[in-house]
Structure 1
Amino acid sequence: MSMRMVRSPARDASAAREENARAPRIPDFGRRLRELFQPYRAKLVLTIALVLVTAGLTVLPPLLTEQAFDQGLFPAGGPDLPRLAEIVGAMVLVWVVSQVLGVWQTWLTATVGNGVTASLRERLFTRLQQMELGFFTRTRTGVIQSRLQNDVGGVANVLSNTVSSVVGNTVTVIAAFVAMLLLSPPLTLIAVVLLPLLALVQRRVGQRRARIATKTQESLSELSAITQEALSVSGILLAKAFTRQRQETARYTEESERQLRLQVRQEMTGQGFFATVQVFLLIVPALVYLAAGVLLVGGDQGITAGTIVAFTTVQARLTWPLMGLLRVALDLQTSSALFARIFEYLDLTPAISDSPAAVPVPSGPALGRVELDRVGFAYPAAEGEPAEPILREVSFVAEPGRTVALVGPSGAGKTTVGYLVPRLYDATSGTVRFAGVDVRDLSQDSLRASIGIVSQETYLFHATIRENLRYAKPDATDAELEEAARGANIHDTIARFPEGYDTVVGERGYRLSGGEKQRVAIARVLLKNPPVVLLDEATSALDSVSERVVQQALEAASSGRTTIAIAHRLSTIVDADEILVLEAGRVVERGTHGELLRLGGLYARLAAEQSSERADAQPA
């Protein structure tokens, strides 16, 4: 049956927005972040140590500045040049050491952050590879790509800089605060009195930015989906065939402008807050000068010119780390939406997985035997709706080396039967057996390694013919490639290409004709050399000339193998050992071609219709 549904882009966009709007919160966020950093714990510890040392060194120059003023430039007995030279030398040494440690710290931070980002992306890709086929029929490719690229890319900066920024800025703020207290407790109180209020405001701003970030990533997903659909070879052909380029451009432009508005909102949210914070922190030195004057007039003898200079210098050391902490806190709140989307995919549980006791496909005389015993199947329905059965009580046995064909009108369930054998879907009732074992008790890798699939929609990578063939057997020799190509009746065609087997086939193989693509796919299956071959309407999209050539290749692929052939054109399966006729998910007739014609039922009517169509197509 057909697996494709017509979907509205607007409806897809609405569904995506609803999905993102109800995205789950991240359980135990801190633990999960620690797990990401676990493989890099040694480098992380060294990074933190360097950050602590560097942060500690940043408060030494202001203290040395106080000594330079009070002991070198303006001591009681006049300038002391030797002492001043010692202090200046110490300041230079501190700056040089800080910069050297800073470069080392940057390298470690980049290594750890980018390593964690790459690991996160790889784990996400691995999880998606494990998902069942149904997940990909429900989810647009562009949305999946956006999770891998935009969402993971969006947290890369947080993963790279958060640890060092938080530790470094925290230590610097604490050290600066302690230094300020040592210099003058009253001036310190004036400098930090409003900081708790700023922290509360920052939290509100972060919550708002997190909401905007969710909408921004949702829009990026939609843009990726539109791009993937509209700019693929198939999408371009469709748009040109129906002159829909302007509408596709308008659809992309509309979402792009929405993305622009969201990006601007995200950038501007909090700018007023940070401007207020910066103004406050910049006027603090002026308030310190005023307060120092009041204290001096009041007779405070503990404040000197060196104290005031050192205090304002330390206060400047407090300003930027404090701003950095506020920005990191804001980034963490903003990126929480991205982490939620990433962990949502990482937490997906494949609907089809190996059982703990799964075994490899057993060898022996039963290898290649396929049996369906009273099998029923229904695709998962929307929440609150009943599942509509697609297959009902389907039973048959394909013995090793024999061919069983499935025919019937569109929507009868033929393709679904084929997908149950390699466990692309699991039967909802009954049993599917392979080599005498329930397929749910076999490991998926060994099961699918034993089955070769040639579908109507042949997929070839944008690579050479040689690389496409070796996808089935990476270590295949050139002689094996040629043998498989000859068996698929495509070697002579390849040999006529200027670059032979090194010819690049183009996106989805569009540089090859339909028949050529199909024969390359058949050669790929021959190279795999499985005991069972599944042919899913492999010639239905071809003209009669190409069909004859491909049919010869299919006969080579079927030779000596169990073959399950899903056919639209009955002329391709007249020699099948058994033909099953499906209607509305049930087997309504079975037998050989001759037996079914004599029965005069559905198969005979289908054969008569196709015979009439071929007669009408003949030139007068």
Structure 2
Amino acid sequence: MSNSTTSSARDTVTTPANRAQEKGSLAALRGLLPFLKPYRARFAMAGIALVVAAAATLAIPAAFKRMIDLGFGAGAGVHSAEHVNAVFLALFGVAVVLALATAARFYSVSWLGERVTADIRSAVYRHVVQQSPAFFETTQTGEVLSRITTDTTLIQAVVGTSISMALRNMLLFAGGLVMLFVTSPKLSAIIIGLLVLTVLPIVMFGRRVRKLSRDSQDRIADASAVAGEILNAMPTVQAFTHEHIETERFGSSVEGAFTTAMRRIQARALLTMLAIVLVFGAIVFVLWLGAHAVLEGTMSGGDLGQFILYASIVAGAIGALSEVMGEAQRAAGATERLLELMAANSDIKSPEHPLPLPPRAANGAALTLGNVTFHYPSRPDTASLSHVNLDIRPGETVAIVGPSGAGKTTLFQLFLRFYDPQQGTIRLDGVDIRQIALHDLRNAIGIVPQDTVIFSADAMENIRYGRAGATDEEVIQAAKLAAAHEFIERLPNGYQSFLGERGVRLSGGQRQRIAIARALLKNPPLLLLDEATSALDAESERLVQSALEAAMVGRTTVIIAHRLATVQRADRIIVMEDGRIVETGTHQTLVALGGVYAKLAALQFHNVHVEHAHG
């Protein structure tokens, strides 16, 4: 993977400089369009209901004008009561239409909010889980979770409420404005001029609110990242008695989020106050002029009543739009953050036209490395592997040994194509692994990692993770091969026993045997064992070792190991140091050589003798 890609992903997702960068005020909301397009019909239904509800609302002032002029005006006569009755009956009919249209609008937009939010969460999560490990080297899990949960909730509020409210109030504003001019062009011209002068400071202040909204969301994400990191390391935190320190660190992060949120809330409160004072001040002034016009006889009481109601509708629409604008600006910030995740691209992708793997051979897969050189993206100046050449034959068991940092685990990362080397090729059964579909490549490889991952599920499902379609009998058989069946049977509910988050209810050796059972169930042609017996006691190691020997039959096995008991059984031992292969041979030939392996073996024999002496 290129370094530029990784640094780009890092800058795009997490850096403070990027967070502070200002983008178009509400332009980011356009990024939601692909998620909204599939539901055009539902939007059309909501739009129709919206127009009907707005029309019903705008009809109310006209009805009041008729009631005032016909029922109470200077020309009112014996039929005034009939006119009043008719107007109120019409008003009730308008109210029924308004209620039905509002209910239909509320249901439609609420459904859209829930549906679109669910789609966005799924799309972001699907995209994130396809990223390479380089992405997670530079991105905190808590940050990603905050964006998937908190930010999508803000978007839900906009899609499910704010868009509808904005459109409704824009219709009311436009319709009310037209009716104001129909009622009194002179007063309307004055009020529009005043409103233009009041909107300018509101818009300027709104930009500050948007920046504070984005900052507030980032501080919440920071707090989530801190909490996630600590909760995943509680045994270490408690072992070093850092509970108080970590509580203070999280408290400081939360207080930072609170302070930023309060700045946003204060700015929103000031914006709302400014909008109400300026807008209603302008309207009150114009209505004062209208009242004098009625007194002078140039305007009827019904016209003034209608003008007041339409002015109230226009003012209410402006106030609601300023409120909605604040929500929309928060959602724009949330959308930016989600789109940043969606824009993070991984170079580790399946090829457009993948090559198939040859049919599986009876004795496993062949693995070839040709002049492989690799630098981790986070450490571009240090070569983890340098010009490595290796040819592993089908059915061969190869042990890789060497001091810490020699590049052993890096080889496994490259075999699984978690990363691509900057130079050289890796071939599986003669096919460059970059030309194989990722699913096919990783399906052909089973791995038992040094740090076993146990999921929050029962023992049966944890082992079945190796092959989703496996039967219970196949799972149990794999557990027996991995010497896990007996301890699982002793659990309170056997294979249905919940193992706790990250397997906290199991010992290290038990977790390791679950991982081995998972790999055996997968039954791949290539098996990678990364310190597979490192967490086992002597008895468990003996049981698992015999199981692994049986599992190695008919497949190629590559083992990272320090224990000589494991290494000595290998067909060939590869000795690595500083990212290079420095020695190759069997245990006996390498000990006789007197090089790196001989020193490692002597050190281990010395430790074994010391342990026996103290025992």
Whole-Å separation in 1 of the counterparts to 2:131 and 2:457: 25
TM-score, with structure 1 as normaliser: 0.92
Structure 2 counterparts to residues 19-34 of structure 1, below 5 A: 19-22=18-21, 29=28, 31-34=30-33
| Matching residue within 587, 594, 602 for 1:593 | 587
Contact kept in structure 2, 1:439 and 1:447, CA below 8 Å: yes
SS in 1 for 2:144: helix
Deviates more, 1:412-421 or 1:531-540: 531-540
Counterpart residue number, 1:40: 39
Counterpart residue number, 2:6: none
Say yes or no: does 1:278 pair with 2:292.
Answer: no
Whole-Å separation in 1 of the counterparts to 2:535 and 2:115: 46
Counterpart residue number, 1:100: 100
Give the partner amino acid of 1:48. G
Counterpart residue number, 1:189: 189
Give the partner amino acid of 2:508. G
Report how far residue 287 of structure 1 moved: 3.0
SS in 2 for 1:193: helix
Give the partner amino acid of 1:249. T
Counterpart residue number, 1:328: 324
Contact kept in structure 1, 2:386 and 2:580, CA below 8 Å: yes
Which segments of 5 or more consecutive residues in structure 2 lack a partner in the other structure? 1-10
Counterpart residue number, 1:551: 545
Say yes or no: does 1:378 pair with 2:375.
Answer: yes
Give the partner amino acid of 1:195. L
SS in 1 for 2:434: helix
Counterpart residue number, 1:63: 62
Deviates more, 1:350-359 or 1:574-583: 350-359
Whole-Å separation in 2 of the counterparts to 1:437 and 1:109: 52
Pair 1:199–1:331, CA change in 2 (3 A): farther
Report how far residue 17 of structure 1 moved: 2.7
Structure 2 counterparts to residues 89-488 of structure 1, below 5 A: 89-232=89-232, 235-283=233-281, 286-300=284-298, 303-365=299-361, 368-381=365-378, 387-488=381-482
Give the partner amino acid of 1:316. S
Whole-Å separation in 1 of the counterparts to 2:117 and 2:428: 41
Whole-Å separation in 1 of the counterparts to 2:208 and 2:581: 58
RMSD of aligned residue pairs (Cα, Å) = 2.2
Report how far residue 557 of structure 1 moved: 3.1
Counterpart residue number, 1:4: none
Report how far residue 367 of structure 1 moved: 5.6
Structure 2 counterparts to residues 519-530 of structure 1, below 5 A: 519-530=513-524
Task: Report sequence identity in percent.
Answer: 35
Report how far residue 28 of structure 1 moved: 6.7
Give the partner amino acid of 1:124. V
Matched pairs, number: 601
Pair 1:270–1:222, CA change in 2 (3 A): closer
Which segments of 5 or more consecutive residues in structure 1 lack a partner in the other structure? 1-11
Contact kept in structure 2, 1:206 and 1:334, CA below 8 Å: no
Whole-Å separation in 1 of the counterparts to 2:26 and 2:216: 22
Report how far residue 180 of structure 1 moved: 1.5
Contact kept in structure 1, 2:28 and 2:336, CA below 8 Å: no
Pair 1:57–1:471, CA change in 2 (3 A): same
Whole-Å separation in 1 of the counterparts to 2:513 and 2:167: 61
Report how far residue 70 of structure 1 moved: 1.4
Structure 2 counterparts to residues 597-612 of structure 1, below 5 A: 597-612=591-606
Report how far residue 583 of structure 1 moved: 0.4
Pair 1:292–1:141, CA change in 2 (3 A): closer
Whole-Å separation in 2 of the counterparts to 1:126 and 1:205: 38
Contact kept in structure 2, 1:205 and 1:270, CA below 8 Å: no
Deviates more, 1:22-31 or 1:216-225: 22-31
Counterpart residue number, 1:489: 483
* CA offset digits 1:368-400 (Å, max 9, x no partner): 111111211111257xxx532111121122222
Deviates more, 1:193-202 or 1:483-492: 193-202
Give the partner amino acid of 2:198. L
Whole-Å separation in 1 of the counterparts to 2:320 and 2:140: 38
SS in 2 for 1:375: strand
Whole-Å separation in 1 of the counterparts to 2:526 and 2:159: 47
Pair 1:15–1:344, CA change in 2 (3 A): closer
Contact kept in structure 2, 1:207 and 1:334, CA below 8 Å: no
SS in 2 for 1:269: helix
Contact kept in structure 2, 1:16 and 1:218, CA below 8 Å: no
Whole-Å separation in 2 of the counterparts to 1:253 and 1:30: 33
* CA offset digits 1:146-179 (Å, max 9, x no partner): 2212222232212222432222111111111111
SS in 2 for 1:194: helix
Contact kept in structure 1, 2:206 and 2:271, CA below 8 Å: no
* CA offset digits 1:116-138 (Å, max 9, x no partner): 11111111111111111121122
Give the partner amino acid of 1:307. D
Whole-Å separation in 2 of the counterparts to 1:122 and 1:26: 26
Counterpart residue number, 1:76: 76
Whole-Å separation in 2 of the counterparts to 1:124 and 1:296: 61
SS in 1 for 2:129: helix
Report how far residue 219 of structure 1 moved: 1.3
Whole-Å separation in 2 of the counterparts to 1:442 and 1:211: 45
SS in 1 for 2:483: coil
Contact kept in structure 2, 1:367 and 1:435, CA below 8 Å: no
TM-score, with structure 2 as normaliser: 0.93
Contact kept in structure 2, 1:407 and 1:568, CA below 8 Å: yes
Whole-Å separation in 1 of the counterparts to 2:405 and 2:62: 82
SS in 2 for 1:453: strand
Contact kept in structure 1, 2:133 and 2:419, CA below 8 Å: yes
Contact kept in structure 1, 2:28 and 2:333, CA below 8 Å: no
* CA offset digits 1:547-573 (Å, max 9, x no partner): 333323332332321101011223212
Say yes or no: does 1:584 pair with 2:578.
Answer: yes
Give the partner amino acid of 1:66. K
Deviates more, 1:468-477 or 1:331-340: 331-340
Give the partner amino acid of 1:312. I
Contact kept in structure 2, 1:367 and 1:400, CA below 8 Å: yes
Contact kept in structure 2, 1:54 and 1:98, CA below 8 Å: yes
* CA offset digits 1:234-266 (Å, max 9, x no partner): x11111111111100110011111111111111
Deviates more, 1:268-277 or 1:537-546: 537-546
Structure 2 counterparts to residues 556-567 of structure 1, below 5 A: 556-567=550-561
Whole-Å separation in 2 of the counterparts to 1:105 and 1:580: 69
Whole-Å separation in 2 of the counterparts to 1:577 and 1:521: 24
Deviates more, 1:246-255 or 1:157-166: 157-166
* CA offset digits 1:485-542 (Å, max 9, x no partner): 1111111211122200001100111101111111111111111111111111122234
Deviates more, 1:71-80 or 1:94-103: 71-80
Counterpart residue number, 1:50: 49
Whole-Å separation in 2 of the counterparts to 1:389 and 1:537: 23
Pair 1:34–1:71, CA change in 2 (3 A): same
Report how far residue 428 of structure 1 moved: 1.3
Report how far residue 329 of structure 1 moved: 2.6
Deviates more, 1:250-259 or 1:219-228: 219-228
SS in 1 for 2:448: strand
Say yes or no: does 1:516 pair with 2:499.
Answer: no
Whole-Å separation in 1 of the counterparts to 2:558 and 2:392: 8
Contact kept in structure 2, 1:489 and 1:552, CA below 8 Å: no
Whole-Å separation in 2 of the counterparts to 1:26 and 1:332: 9
Give the partner amino acid of 1:328. V
